[in-house]
Structure formats: C-alpha cells, structure tokens
Amino acid sequence: MMKIGVIGFGVVGSGVYEVIRKNRESIARKAGQEVDIKYILDIRDFSDHPEKELFVKDFDTMVNDAEVGIIVEVMGGLDPAYEYTKRALCAGKHVVTSNKELVATYGDELLALANKNGVSYLFEASVGGGIPIIRPLNQCLAANEISAIVGILNGTTNYILTQMFKNGKDFDVALKDAQEKGYAERNPAADVEGYDACRKICILSSLAFGKHVDYREVYTEGITALTLRDIAYAEEMGCVVKLLGYSKLLDDGRIDIKVAPMMIPNEQPLATVSDVYNGIQVRGNAIGDAMFYGPGAGKLPTASAVVADVIDIAKAPERAGRVMWVRTDEKLVLPADEACASYFVRVETADKNAVSVSAKAEFDGATIIDKFDNELGILTGCMSEGELKGKLSNLPGKVIGFLRVLPQA
C-alpha cells in the first residue's frame, strides 16, 4: 500500500481526491499496489467533509509519518510550498506537484535534492494541465535532441483570444466572460500578462535543453494591448493571434525564448487550438514535429496528471532521483533585440502615402495593408527586433504597436 499526503485541498487537491476515490481499482492495478490518501493538509475547515478524519492542519503530521511515501503538493505559490517540498524530500518522501511557479523557480535545486535523497520530484501537471508533456519530453522523446518548443500554454488567454476572433468580443468583455465561466482568476494578471505561460515555457525548455532557464530573463508580453483591429488585420492576412511560449535552441547554445502574442498562419496546427485548450509543438531531430493537444487546465485534467505521477512512483519507487536539469552560469537566454522574425506593424498616420513609401524603403519587400482610416498595417520581412525598432523610428507616423509572426522553427 502506498500512502500519500496531499497539501492543499483547492481545485486540484479536491480533483486528486476525487480521481483516487473514483479509480481506486484501476490505479491499484497500474501501480502494482493500492494507493490511498492518509492526510490532506489545508488551513480551512473541512469538518463537514465525509472523510473529515483525513484533514490535518500541521505539515509535521504527514512529513513525520513513516507510512507516508508520497507527498502531493498542490497548494501553488512559493511560500510555504518551497519549504514543505524541501522538508519532504529531505525526509525521504517522493514529491508530486502541479506547482509551476515552484518548479520554474527552484526546479534545479529540488531535483538535485530529490536525487541526493533517493526520491523523485515529479511535475507532469505543472505544464499543460492534463496533457502528457513532461514525461513524453523526458522519456518517450529521450532519443531526440530537441531543437524547438512552441506552445499555447495558457487556457484562459486562449479562451479570451478565441472569443475575440470568433465572437468579435473586445478584450475586456472576453476577460469578463472568462471570469464568469471560472476560467480566469479574479486577479487575472498571471494569465493575461503572460507570466503563467512564461513559467511553463521555462520548465519545458529547462527539461528539453538540460539547463535551468530563469523566467526572470525571458521577454514576456501578454495580451492586454490587443484590440479587435489587430484581429481584423490577422484575418485579412490569413492568420490568427495566439499567446505563444516560444523556445528555440540556437547553434551557439543560447536559447531564443519569449512569451508574446504572435500571428500564426491559419494552416499551422497551433492555429487550430481554440478555447481553453492548450497545444504544444515539439521539434526533435529524430521524430521531426510532434504536437500535444488537450485540456490545459481544470480540476480533473490536472488531477489526472498528478495521479499519473503518483502511479509512476508507486509502480517503481526505486527508479527515483532522476535529475533532469542543472543550473549553469552560462548566459543562456538570447537578448530579445537579437531575436529574428517577421513583424506586423500598425502605424497611425494622416498621410498613408508617405508611410507606405517610407515602409517600402525601410523594409525591403514589405506588404502594406490598408484597412482602416488614419492607419496602415505593414508586414515586414525577417530581421532582428533591434533592427526593427531602429527602422520604426524612421517612419513618418506614430507606431501603434507590432506583433511578431511565428518564426519557422
């Protein structure tokens, strides 16, 4: 019997409880032993819960109990999750988590600590909710050298963008709609400013490239400035706009990594990923391109990934302590201004002709899109962002903004 302690009885924690109760027999069959919950730690009162005896308020109770083999940390945030995780690993407990913030911030340290103590630190649920992506990268695609990962990694923003595209709702209305449906947090900054997607692309990159990618060094732009005019231009160009986590390993070992809304041509697989779904495209040197698709958030999908990690450990606890990436002193992240792409630029002007002539001179082969009064759209060729910014200052009009076009991997 593998006994587990669950930290946090919120959306994911209650999902873990439900899945373990619902699929008890099949979980036991797959794990090779019964898996049961011994404790649930939550500061709130659950005295009317049908299994109220499971609830404890003190972490010591579970970490000091020799019967507990796995601690499931689904409380989120850094404090006290970081301390609890370290204490659990040092006490010889395996730890399973959905906490992307913790993995993105201290993943290298916690993996090393797990290794030192002969236990596992698994985090399938930290990226892509219910979509299998960590294990595929770490195991099924292990024969490949991964060169690029591009993903729609945040369900909330994908829902908002889908509403803007399909139903013509502007950003504020679509956000309110997402909040009413329970997709967006009450404070939606982590989603709409791109921070959530940034942590996820950093976890995937660290795993794929073996070195800790610090999210604080990654250029991150959210979707708050997008308007229905951007959407109308994208439609005219046969594109959609998606918030992407983009990561590409360069020949010199640096990583071109960013989070930003990008134009994607309609024929690309990621363009078809709508609503709260996530899609992650991985390029490997043996497999070519593979895409992972599914529910990127939600109670039971995320719990499904957490419980799969629990089963993995229960099945073979001795396979523990697999360090997956390490921290290095190298400057891994390519400065944003050195990254290359094509760009879609909007310029406000009363003199469209002057802007058009200047854009064609500045951007060799530029396409001009004349769709609205007092502004022009310009699609540039491929160049560095630094070069783009220099050229934009030469245009005889006010630059409203620019969007990157998804570069070829």
**Active-site residue list:** 200
Helix count and strand count (H, E) for the chain: 14, 17
Our finding on whether 5 is near ligand HSE (CB under 6 A) is no
Our finding on whether 295 is near ligand HSE (CB under 6 A) is no
Nearer to ligand HSE, 191 or 309 (CB): 191
Residue 341, phi then psi, degrees to nearest 5: -165, 175
DSSP state for residue 318 in the 8-state scheme: G
CB 190 to ligand HSE: min, Å: 7
Our finding on whether 8 is near ligand HSE (CB under 6 A) is no
Our finding on whether 162 is near ligand HSE (CB under 6 A) is no
Nearer to ligand HSE, 143 or 189 (CB): 189
Binding to ligand HSE (CB under 6 A): which residues in 195-214?
196
How large is the C-alpha radius of gyration of the chain? 23
Write the DSSP string, 234-303: HHHTTEEEEEEEEEEE-TTS-EEEEEEEEEEETTSGGGG--TTEEEEEEEETTTEEEEEEEE-S-HHHHH
Our finding on whether 81 is near ligand HSE (CB under 6 A) is no
Nearest to 260 by CA among 331, 176, 157, 334: 157
Nearer to ligand HSE, 302 or 358 (CB): 302
Among 156, 163, 220, 247, binds ligand HSE (CB under 6 A): 156
In which element (H, E) is residue 312 found? helix 299-315
Q: Is 345 exposed, middle or buried (0-12, 13-18, 19+ CB in 10 A)?
A: buried
Binding to ligand HSE (CB under 6 A): which residues in 95-154?
129, 154
Distance (Å, whole) CA 109 – CA 82: 10
Our finding on whether 358 is near ligand HSE (CB under 6 A) is no
Among 107, 151, 155, 301, binds ligand HSE (CB under 6 A): 155
Nearer to ligand HSE, 203 or 339 (CB): 203
DSSP state for residue 204 in the 8-state scheme: H
Among 296, 301, 321, 377, binds ligand HSE (CB under 6 A): 296
- Residues lying near ligand HSE in the complex (CB under 6 A): 129, 154-156, 191, 196, 296-297
